[in-house]
Homo-oligomer: A and B are copies of this chain.
């Protein structure tokens, strides 16, 4: 479908126009260290080269690229943040190397092809925001055949987990439905209008909100109760728009913890900076958003809660399929379908249960 640019700006880009929001990303140590190391520990890649920074925001990656020795950096930013990036570039003495261009990377023109595309395009569970599309677009249009991508690879992970979050959500949902009952009674008594014909739509709306919308969480590693399944690996040099438009993957996960309850699934991602096959990184860098005690990120994990949770026994195997597609209303949000069943020693395979979620 065609994207309404006005709506896309109102829904998506507007938040990036605030320094406050850029600051949140710039305060994410894990994120910052990974990009910083990827550039400065592989400065050889940047020396004398031309770089395109897709979505430069404050301009940080463009400035680092210049500091690492790039000859020229094109820093493209769709929002007014471009003005601040330009000031930051000048404030750090890089105005002869970094050129800030305000516009969507889809619309702008560069005077030359580039050696490196660098970008921080990752959303929750990697794919939210669909910004990778813009990077792919820029790559196909502006990257030299010999060029490389920073990051070079991206992976999505899914794991079963335990949490008490689901119970809280169920309570909130029940509270909302009780309140609706009270409300319909009052509206009928006081105002002579019977609202009960909207019971089902209201329930559906509240279910979606409380029970089917994935939840941001920063999980402790011991909440993960089975080996994470690799859902998808993108090679940023070759990934296609078809590949990003929908992700489908089967999983088969032995449950480690005895008698644990699977309260849901957690989704996260990592990206890697490996240079390219013909010119690998001197020092590979990984940025992971997996559950961690010390190295938490602003991405956290996306939690998909199961209602009710699944009781497991040691030796059970969780099998299923994950399918992620774009929301029809907003291409930057996702519909997620998880089909899952337990394989239990000595029992016939169970019918899979299908749970539908929304990444909002």
Q: A residues bordering B, Cβ < 8 Å?
A: 4-11, 18-20, 23, 26-27, 32, 36, 58, 60, 63-64, 67, 84, 87-88, 90-92, 176, 180, 183, 187, 190-198, 201-202, 205-206, 209
Contacts and interface: CB of A to CB of B under 8 A. Distances in A.
A274 to B, nearest CB: 22
A266 B11 CA distance: 31
Contact of A183 (B10, B27, B198): B27
7 contacts: A6-B10, A10-B11, A19-B202, A19-B205, A87-B198, A87-B201, A88-B193
A8 B180 CA distance: 29
Given A6-B8, A91-B194, A91-B196, 18 more contacts: A4-B6, A7-B7, A10-B11, A19-B205, A20-B176, A20-B206, A20-B209, A23-B202, A26-B187, A26-B195, A36-B191, A60-B193, A64-B191, A84-B198, A88-B197, A91-B195, A92-B194, A92-B197
Chain A, interface SS category: helix
A183 to B, nearest CB: 6
B192 A67 contact: yes
A92 to B, nearest CB: 6
Contacts of A87: 197-198, 201
Nearest to A5: B6
Contacts of A88: 193, 195, 197-198
A44 B18 CA distance: 54
Contacts of A36: 191
Given A88-B198, A192-B67, A205 B10 contact: no
A23, A183, A197, A206 interface centre (most CB from chain B within 10 Å): A23
Given A26-B187, A67-B192, A197 B90 contact: yes
A201 B87 CA distance: 10
A197 to B, nearest CB: 3
Contacts of A193: 60, 63-64, 88, 92
Nearest to A196: B91
Contacts of A58: 195, 198
A143 to B, nearest CB: 26
A9 B20 CA distance: 25
